[in-house]
Protein backbone atom coordinates (compact mmCIF):
# COMPACT_ATOMS: atom_id res chain seq x y z
CA UNK A 1 0.00 0.00 0.00
CA UNK A 2 1.37 3.38 -0.94
CA UNK A 3 1.79 6.16 1.60
CA UNK A 4 1.68 9.93 1.41
CA UNK A 5 4.81 10.88 3.31
CA UNK A 6 4.30 14.65 3.14
CA UNK A 7 1.04 16.46 3.59
CA UNK A 8 -0.51 17.89 0.48
CA UNK A 9 -1.14 21.21 2.16
CA UNK A 10 1.27 23.80 3.50
CA UNK A 11 1.00 24.54 7.21
CA UNK A 12 -0.68 27.85 6.49
CA UNK A 13 -3.35 26.19 4.39
CA UNK A 14 -3.92 23.60 7.10
CA UNK A 15 -4.40 26.35 9.65
CA UNK A 16 -6.91 28.07 7.40
CA UNK A 17 -8.91 24.86 7.12
CA UNK A 18 -8.84 24.30 10.86
CA UNK A 19 -9.87 27.88 11.52
CA UNK A 20 -12.70 27.70 9.03
CA UNK A 21 -14.04 24.33 10.06
CA UNK A 22 -13.06 24.19 13.71
CA UNK A 23 -14.12 27.51 15.14
CA UNK A 24 -17.30 29.23 16.12
CA UNK A 25 -16.59 32.24 13.92
CA UNK A 26 -13.81 33.77 11.84
CA UNK A 27 -12.30 35.75 14.73
CA UNK A 28 -12.09 33.09 17.43
CA UNK A 29 -10.15 30.01 16.31
CA UNK A 30 -9.67 27.14 18.71
CA UNK A 31 -6.62 27.85 20.91
CA UNK A 32 -3.53 25.69 20.69
CA UNK A 33 -3.09 25.56 24.46
CA UNK A 34 -5.26 22.72 25.79
CA UNK A 35 -5.70 24.52 29.12
CA UNK A 36 -7.50 27.31 27.24
CA UNK A 37 -9.97 24.97 25.56
CA UNK A 38 -12.68 24.99 28.23
CA UNK A 39 -12.70 28.82 28.57
CA UNK A 40 -12.81 29.10 24.78
CA UNK A 41 -15.77 26.74 24.59
CA UNK A 42 -17.68 28.56 27.33
CA UNK A 43 -17.09 31.89 25.59
CA UNK A 44 -18.07 30.71 22.13
CA UNK A 45 -20.75 28.09 22.71
CA UNK A 46 -23.06 29.76 25.16
CA UNK A 47 -26.27 28.33 26.65
CA UNK A 48 -29.50 28.90 24.79
CA UNK A 49 -30.65 31.66 27.14
CA UNK A 50 -27.65 33.77 26.09
CA UNK A 51 -28.11 33.17 22.37
CA UNK A 52 -31.68 34.21 21.75
CA UNK A 53 -31.96 36.25 18.59
CA UNK A 54 -28.82 34.71 17.06
CA UNK A 55 -30.03 31.20 16.21
CA UNK A 56 -32.09 29.84 13.35
CA UNK A 57 -35.71 30.91 14.00
CA UNK A 58 -36.95 27.32 13.81
CA UNK A 59 -34.37 26.23 16.39
CA UNK A 60 -35.23 29.10 18.73
CA UNK A 61 -38.90 28.18 18.53
CA UNK A 62 -38.11 24.52 19.21
CA UNK A 63 -35.95 25.31 22.24
CA UNK A 64 -38.46 27.72 23.78
CA UNK A 65 -40.61 24.97 25.30
CA UNK A 66 -38.76 21.64 25.37
CA UNK A 67 -40.51 18.52 26.61
CA UNK A 68 -39.07 15.34 28.08
CA UNK A 69 -40.15 11.74 27.61
CA UNK A 70 -38.63 8.99 29.71
CA UNK A 71 -37.48 5.57 28.56
CA UNK A 72 -37.32 3.01 31.35
CA UNK A 73 -37.01 -0.71 30.73
CA UNK A 74 -38.76 -1.47 34.01
CA UNK A 75 -41.92 0.31 32.89
CA UNK A 76 -41.59 3.28 35.25
CA UNK A 77 -41.22 5.78 32.41
CA UNK A 78 -43.28 6.78 29.41
CA UNK A 79 -41.88 4.01 27.19
CA UNK A 80 -39.88 0.81 27.59
CA UNK A 81 -38.00 1.07 24.28
CA UNK A 82 -36.32 3.80 22.29
CA UNK A 83 -38.15 2.66 19.20
CA UNK A 84 -41.51 3.36 20.84
CA UNK A 85 -40.29 6.72 22.14
CA UNK A 86 -39.14 7.85 18.69
CA UNK A 87 -42.35 6.62 17.07
CA UNK A 88 -44.35 8.74 19.52
CA UNK A 89 -42.77 11.93 18.18
CA UNK A 90 -44.96 13.33 15.40
CA UNK A 91 -43.78 13.89 11.85
CA UNK A 92 -43.11 17.58 11.30
CA UNK A 93 -42.07 17.97 14.95
CA UNK A 94 -41.31 21.60 15.89
CA UNK A 95 -40.45 21.19 19.57
CA UNK A 96 -37.26 20.03 21.26
CA UNK A 97 -37.98 16.54 22.58
CA UNK A 98 -35.52 15.22 25.15
CA UNK A 99 -35.56 11.44 25.32
CA UNK A 100 -34.27 10.71 28.82
CA UNK A 101 -32.82 7.19 28.69
CA UNK A 102 -32.22 5.20 31.87
CA UNK A 103 -29.19 2.96 32.25
CA UNK A 104 -29.44 -0.43 30.61
CA UNK A 105 -28.66 -2.28 27.40
CA UNK A 106 -31.15 -1.51 24.63
CA UNK A 107 -30.92 -4.10 21.85
CA UNK A 108 -32.68 -2.14 19.14
CA UNK A 109 -32.13 -0.89 15.60
CA UNK A 110 -33.28 2.72 15.71
CA UNK A 111 -34.06 5.09 12.86
CA UNK A 112 -34.93 8.77 13.14
CA UNK A 113 -36.47 10.03 9.91
CA UNK A 114 -35.79 13.39 8.30
CA UNK A 115 -39.19 14.79 9.29
CA UNK A 116 -38.46 14.44 13.04
CA UNK A 117 -35.97 17.21 13.89
CA UNK A 118 -35.05 18.59 17.33
CA UNK A 119 -34.61 15.27 19.12
CA UNK A 120 -32.14 14.76 21.99
CA UNK A 121 -31.00 11.39 23.34
CA UNK A 122 -29.82 11.98 26.91
CA UNK A 123 -28.24 9.50 29.30
CA UNK A 124 -26.49 9.77 32.65
CA UNK A 125 -22.73 10.39 32.58
CA UNK A 126 -22.29 8.16 35.64
CA UNK A 127 -24.26 5.22 34.23
CA UNK A 128 -24.54 5.52 30.48
CA UNK A 129 -27.16 3.53 28.57
CA UNK A 130 -25.99 1.30 25.73
CA UNK A 131 -27.74 1.15 22.36
CA UNK A 132 -26.60 -1.96 20.53
CA UNK A 133 -27.48 -4.14 17.56
CA UNK A 134 -25.55 -6.65 15.42
CA UNK A 135 -26.39 -5.34 11.96
CA UNK A 136 -23.99 -6.10 9.11
CA UNK A 137 -23.56 -5.05 5.50
CA UNK A 138 -24.36 -8.58 4.39
CA UNK A 139 -27.88 -8.30 5.81
CA UNK A 140 -28.70 -4.60 5.52
CA UNK A 141 -26.06 -2.95 3.32
CA UNK A 142 -23.18 -1.04 4.90
CA UNK A 143 -24.72 2.33 5.74
CA UNK A 144 -28.07 0.77 6.66
CA UNK A 145 -26.47 -1.64 9.13
CA UNK A 146 -26.20 1.12 11.75
CA UNK A 147 -27.56 0.59 15.23
CA UNK A 148 -28.70 4.22 15.19
CA UNK A 149 -29.55 6.03 11.95
CA UNK A 150 -30.31 9.75 12.17
CA UNK A 151 -31.52 11.70 9.14
CA UNK A 152 -33.15 14.66 10.89
CA UNK A 153 -31.64 18.06 11.66
CA UNK A 154 -30.67 19.38 15.09
CA UNK A 155 -30.15 15.97 16.67
CA UNK A 156 -28.22 15.93 19.96
CA UNK A 157 -26.87 13.00 21.97
CA UNK A 158 -25.14 13.14 25.34
CA UNK A 159 -23.82 10.40 27.60
CA UNK A 160 -24.83 7.55 25.29
CA UNK A 161 -22.96 4.39 24.22
CA UNK A 162 -23.78 3.41 20.64
CA UNK A 163 -22.40 0.04 19.62
CA UNK A 164 -22.53 -2.44 16.79
CA UNK A 165 -22.13 -5.83 18.43
CA UNK A 166 -21.43 -7.81 15.25
CA UNK A 167 -18.22 -9.90 15.42
CA UNK A 168 -14.93 -8.43 14.31
CA UNK A 169 -14.40 -8.96 10.56
CA UNK A 170 -11.89 -11.68 9.91
CA UNK A 171 -11.49 -11.26 6.17
CA UNK A 172 -13.06 -14.63 5.47
CA UNK A 173 -16.55 -13.40 4.68
CA UNK A 174 -17.78 -10.64 2.42
CA UNK A 175 -19.78 -7.67 3.59
CA UNK A 176 -18.74 -7.80 7.24
CA UNK A 177 -18.87 -4.01 7.72
CA UNK A 178 -20.99 -3.08 10.72
CA UNK A 179 -21.91 0.54 11.49
CA UNK A 180 -22.75 1.77 14.99
CA UNK A 181 -23.94 5.28 14.08
CA UNK A 182 -24.98 6.83 10.79
CA UNK A 183 -25.50 10.57 11.09
CA UNK A 184 -26.99 12.12 7.96
CA UNK A 185 -28.91 15.07 9.38
CA UNK A 186 -27.54 18.62 9.46
CA UNK A 187 -26.40 20.47 12.59
CA UNK A 188 -26.01 17.52 14.95
CA UNK A 189 -23.97 17.42 18.16
CA UNK A 190 -22.60 14.59 20.28
CA UNK A 191 -21.26 15.13 23.80
CA UNK A 192 -19.51 12.47 25.86
CA UNK A 193 -20.72 9.62 23.67
CA UNK A 194 -18.94 6.33 23.00
CA UNK A 195 -19.12 4.85 19.50
CA UNK A 196 -17.90 1.27 19.39
CA UNK A 197 -17.44 -1.13 16.51
CA UNK A 198 -14.83 -2.54 14.17
CA UNK A 199 -14.94 -1.73 10.45
CA UNK A 200 -17.01 1.38 9.59
CA UNK A 201 -18.01 2.26 13.16
CA UNK A 202 -19.15 5.82 12.39
CA UNK A 203 -20.76 6.82 9.12
CA UNK A 204 -20.35 10.61 9.24
CA UNK A 205 -22.56 10.68 6.22
CA UNK A 206 -23.49 14.26 5.35
CA UNK A 207 -24.19 17.56 7.05
CA UNK A 208 -22.44 19.60 9.73
CA UNK A 209 -21.63 17.72 12.93
CA UNK A 210 -19.85 18.38 16.22
CA UNK A 211 -18.33 15.71 18.47
CA UNK A 212 -16.92 16.76 21.86
CA UNK A 213 -15.35 14.58 24.56
CA UNK A 214 -16.37 11.45 22.70
CA UNK A 215 -14.70 8.05 22.27
CA UNK A 216 -14.61 6.30 18.90
CA UNK A 217 -13.20 2.79 18.41
CA UNK A 218 -12.64 0.67 15.35
CA UNK A 219 -10.32 -1.02 12.88
CA UNK A 220 -10.69 0.06 9.24
CA UNK A 221 -12.32 3.23 7.86
CA UNK A 222 -14.09 3.59 11.17
CA UNK A 223 -14.84 7.28 10.63
CA UNK A 224 -16.08 7.59 7.06
CA UNK A 225 -18.44 9.62 4.91
CA UNK A 226 -18.97 13.06 3.42
CA UNK A 227 -19.72 15.08 6.55
CA UNK A 228 -18.29 18.47 7.47
CA UNK A 229 -17.41 17.73 11.07
CA UNK A 230 -15.35 18.88 14.01
CA UNK A 231 -14.05 16.32 16.51
CA UNK A 232 -12.93 18.20 19.61
CA UNK A 233 -11.13 16.66 22.59
CA UNK A 234 -12.20 13.22 21.40
CA UNK A 235 -10.39 9.92 21.99
CA UNK A 236 -9.74 7.72 18.97
CA UNK A 237 -8.97 4.08 19.82
CA UNK A 238 -7.47 2.09 16.95
CA UNK A 239 -7.48 -1.71 16.92
CA UNK A 240 -4.43 -2.28 14.72
CA UNK A 241 -3.38 -5.67 16.01
CA UNK A 242 -4.79 -7.76 13.14
CA UNK A 243 -3.60 -6.23 9.88
CA UNK A 244 -4.65 -3.06 8.10
CA UNK A 245 -6.00 -0.23 10.26
CA UNK A 246 -7.25 3.12 8.96
CA UNK A 247 -9.00 5.80 10.99
CA UNK A 248 -10.68 7.94 8.32
CA UNK A 249 -12.08 7.46 4.84
CA UNK A 250 -13.46 10.89 4.06
CA UNK A 251 -15.49 10.88 0.85
CA UNK A 252 -15.27 14.43 -0.46
CA UNK A 253 -16.04 14.78 -4.16
CA UNK A 254 -14.95 17.54 -6.50
CA UNK A 255 -14.77 20.81 -4.54
CA UNK A 256 -17.48 20.02 -1.99
CA UNK A 257 -17.18 22.00 1.24
CA UNK A 258 -16.78 18.96 3.47
CA UNK A 259 -14.06 17.47 5.61
CA UNK A 260 -13.10 16.16 9.05
CA UNK A 261 -11.16 18.26 11.58
CA UNK A 262 -9.70 16.56 14.66
CA UNK A 263 -8.55 19.13 17.21
CA UNK A 264 -7.04 18.42 20.64
CA UNK A 265 -7.79 14.73 20.22
CA UNK A 266 -5.87 11.67 21.42
CA UNK A 267 -5.14 8.69 19.19
CA UNK A 268 -4.29 5.47 21.03
CA UNK A 269 -4.89 1.78 20.56
CA UNK A 270 -3.23 -1.60 20.17
CA UNK A 271 -0.83 -2.72 17.45
CA UNK A 272 1.06 -0.47 15.05
CA UNK A 273 0.96 0.89 11.52
CA UNK A 274 -2.46 2.55 11.53
CA UNK A 275 -3.07 5.28 8.96
CA UNK A 276 -4.78 8.54 9.87
CA UNK A 277 -6.68 8.33 6.61
CA UNK A 278 -6.72 6.94 3.12
CA UNK A 279 -7.59 8.36 -0.28
CA UNK A 280 -10.91 6.56 -0.57
CA UNK A 281 -12.00 9.16 -3.13
CA UNK A 282 -9.96 11.61 -5.19
CA UNK A 283 -10.40 14.64 -2.92
CA UNK A 284 -10.74 13.65 0.74
CA UNK A 285 -10.06 16.42 3.26
CA UNK A 286 -8.88 15.59 6.79
CA UNK A 287 -6.84 17.58 9.30
CA UNK A 288 -5.44 16.59 12.69
CA UNK A 289 -4.37 19.57 14.81
CA UNK A 290 -2.91 19.76 18.33
CA UNK A 291 -3.48 16.02 18.62
CA UNK A 292 -1.51 13.42 20.58
CA UNK A 293 -0.68 10.30 18.59
CA UNK A 294 0.72 7.14 20.15
CA UNK A 295 2.90 4.60 18.36
CA UNK A 296 -0.25 2.90 17.03
CA UNK A 297 -0.09 5.47 14.20
CA UNK A 298 2.33 5.02 11.31
CA UNK A 299 4.38 8.27 11.25
CA UNK A 300 3.92 8.30 7.46
CA UNK A 301 0.38 9.23 8.36
CA UNK A 302 -1.61 8.67 5.21
CA UNK A 303 -2.31 6.10 2.52
CA UNK A 304 -2.92 6.86 -1.15
CA UNK A 305 -5.03 3.69 -1.29
CA UNK A 306 -2.90 2.33 -4.16
CA UNK A 307 -3.75 5.42 -6.24
CA UNK A 308 -0.53 7.48 -6.36
CA UNK A 309 -2.18 9.99 -8.69
CA UNK A 310 -4.38 11.05 -5.77
CA UNK A 311 -1.34 12.43 -3.97
CA UNK A 312 -1.99 15.58 -6.01
CA UNK A 313 -5.66 15.95 -5.14
CA UNK A 314 -6.06 14.91 -1.50
CA UNK A 315 -6.08 17.47 1.31
CA UNK A 316 -4.49 15.70 4.26
CA UNK A 317 -2.74 17.63 7.02
CA UNK A 318 -1.19 17.50 10.47
CA UNK A 319 -0.69 20.71 12.44
CA UNK A 320 1.30 20.90 15.67
CA UNK A 321 0.56 17.31 16.67
CA UNK A 322 2.81 15.39 19.03
CA UNK A 323 3.71 11.88 20.08
CA UNK A 324 5.59 8.99 18.43
CA UNK A 325 2.96 8.60 15.70
CA UNK A 326 2.89 12.26 14.69
CA UNK A 327 4.61 14.02 11.81
CA UNK A 328 4.28 17.69 12.86
Residues 6+ away with beta carbon under 8 Å from 200: 137, 142, 145, 177, 178, 179, 218, 220, 221, 222, 224
Could you tell me which CATH number the domain at 1-28+219-328 has?
2.160.20.10
For 67-208, give the CATH class. Answer: mainly beta
Task: Please state, rounded to an integer, the average pLDDT across all residues of the chain.
Answer: 90
Contact 154, 121 (CB under 8 A): no
**Choosing from 221, 241, 257, 298, which is the catalytic residue?**
221
- 141 alpha-carbon distance from chain centroid: 20
- pLDDT of 128-181, one tens digit each? 999 999 999 999 999 999 999 999 999 999 999 999 999 998 866 678 999 999
- Please state the rounded mean pLDDT for residues 112-116: 98
- pLDDT of 207-253, one tens digit each? 999 999 999 999 999 999 999 999 999 999 999 999 899 999 998 88
- Please state the rounded mean pLDDT for residues 184-207: 98
Question: Does the pTM of the predicted model rise above 0.85?
Answer: yes
Same fold, 1-28+219-328 and 67-208: yes
Structural domain boundaries of the chain? 1-28+219-328, 67-208
Give the Cβ contact number of residue 267 at 10 Å.
Answer: 24
Q: What percent of the chain has pLDDT over 90?
A: 74
- pLDDT computed for residue 171 by the predictor: 66
- pLDDT computed for residue 173 by the predictor: 61
- Please state the rounded mean pLDDT for residues 175-194: 97
- Please state the rounded mean pLDDT for residues 279-292: 90
pLDDT of residue 21 exceeding 90, the answer is: no
Lowest mean pLDDT among 113-122, 257-266, 284-293, 301-310: 301-310
- pLDDT computed for residue 310 by the predictor: 80
Catalytic (active site) residue 221 = yes
pLDDT of residue 311 exceeding 90, the answer is: no
Give the Cβ contact number of residue 276 at 10 Å.
Answer: 30
Amino acid sequence: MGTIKATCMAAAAVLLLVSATASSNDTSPIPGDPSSLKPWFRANVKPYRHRKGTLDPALEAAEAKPRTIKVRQDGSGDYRTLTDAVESIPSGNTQRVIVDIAAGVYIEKIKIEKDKPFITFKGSASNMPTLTFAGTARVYGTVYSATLQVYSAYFVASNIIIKNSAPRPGGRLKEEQAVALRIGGDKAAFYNCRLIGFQDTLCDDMGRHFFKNCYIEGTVDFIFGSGKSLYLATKINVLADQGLAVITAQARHEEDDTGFSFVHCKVNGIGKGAYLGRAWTERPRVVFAYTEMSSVVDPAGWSDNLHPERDRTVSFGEYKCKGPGSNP
